[in-house]
Amino acid sequence: MFVKLFVMALVMFVSYLILIICVLVGVAFVTLLERKILGYIQIR
């Protein structure tokens, strides 16, 4: 009983962790793209 509950909680925690990491990586790429675009605009 407790083992099943523990495994479910662990799976939920890991899935939330993966979701948060994906969001952070997405934000990092958007920020990088924004900086490149702003740099290109500034060069012109």
pLDDT number for residue 2: 86
Dump the DSSP string for 1-44.
Answer: -HHHHHHHHHHHHHHHHHHHHHHHHHHHHHHHHHHHHHHHHHH-
The amino acid occupying position 39 is G
pLDDT at 44 over 80: no
Where do the domains of the chain lie? 13-43
Average pLDDT, the chain: 95
Q: Which two tokens stand for residue 18?
A: 């993966």
pLDDT digit string (tens) for 9-19? 999 999 999 99
Q: Looking at residue 8, what is its pLDDT? A: 96
